[in-house]
A = this chain, B = another copy of it.
Amino acid sequence: MQSMTNDNTNITSFKKDQLDDVNRIIRVNAVEPLDANSVLRAALDHHLLETGSQSRAQLTLSTSKALGLSLKNQLYLAAAVECLHNASLIQDDLQDKDTLRRGQESVWSHFGSNAAINLTDLMIATSFVLLGHVDSKGCLPRLLICMQRAIALTLQGQSRDLSDDGTTRAVKTSLAVAESKSGPLFALCLELPLIAASELSFLNAAQQAGRFFGAGYQVLDDINDAASDQATENSANVVVALSKVLSAKDAHYEAQAVARHYLDRAHRLAESLPNNCAALLIEYCVMLSQNLRESEP
């Protein structure tokens, strides 16, 4: 998966210490109930050793700040989304049997499948506790429901992804997977701050913006992975699915067009949100569109 934020881009406009705070908050809240010698604690520390791009934390921080939320609320909302994202990575690696994550051994590979399953549970639970730390003037139930919905939609996409076998998968299904796989968590980066800022009338647009951005992000990823996924006949990949009915070149151009469509829609929806709060998501859309133009069959 392409990184949207590394030191070589100018996207990263957040102070590193805020992102460090986010990670510290995740860790403190996750390990608080655990014994010092717990396997779960060791597995969490192992996973958090490499933080990744923290692009979801950055999106949430940026949106929250633009909406005038307090620094504490910015940090806890970002920690909740980032914690959930990490839970999803640990579980994805287990379900896809990927042995590497961020250049080191994945949790299931190092600590076993059961530790990965248990750590995922703990981190999901911790994401909800982190929302509980937001000073939310009565909107906490709505934050909880919003997060559960994103989890449910992501899992639903994941179940669809895993339950289809590689050979009969339709293009339509692969697109539905692309929409639901990353979209709901990206949407959370906008939705949770909007809820905390009582801007409820924008939730629908935020949800759609996240969904389309996630889909564009996913299809671009599929384009980048097309060669290797073609070799393993992984038709969860949109390009691979398309190449069952089109030539390889046409499948590539069609996937490009689909991704562009998704990113354009995400961009326009993001612009409709208040206080230019999705400015960073718009930057991501522009950057991914650029990457898309440069991709070749």
Contact = CB atoms under 8 A, between A and B. Distances in A.
Interface of A: 29-30, 32-35, 38-40, 87, 91, 94-95, 112, 114-115, 117-122, 124-126, 128-129, 131-133, 140-141, 144-145, 147-149, 151-153, 155-156, 158-160, 162-163
B132 A163 contact: no
Q: Is the interface of A mostly helix, strand, loop or mixed?
A: helix
A148 B121 contact: no
A197 B165 CA distance: 51
Contacts of A126: 148
Contact of A152 (B95, B125, B153): B125
Q: How many chain copies does the complex carry? A: 2
Contacts of A32: 149, 152
Nearest to A91: B117
4 nearest A-B pairs in the assembled complex, by CB-CB distance: A132-B141, A33-B152, A128-B128, A132-B144
Q: Which of A34, A39, A40, A128 has the most CB of B within 10 A?
A: A128
B132 A140 contact: yes
A125 B140 contact: no
A140 to B, nearest CB: 5
Nearest to A112: B163
B38 A122 contact: no
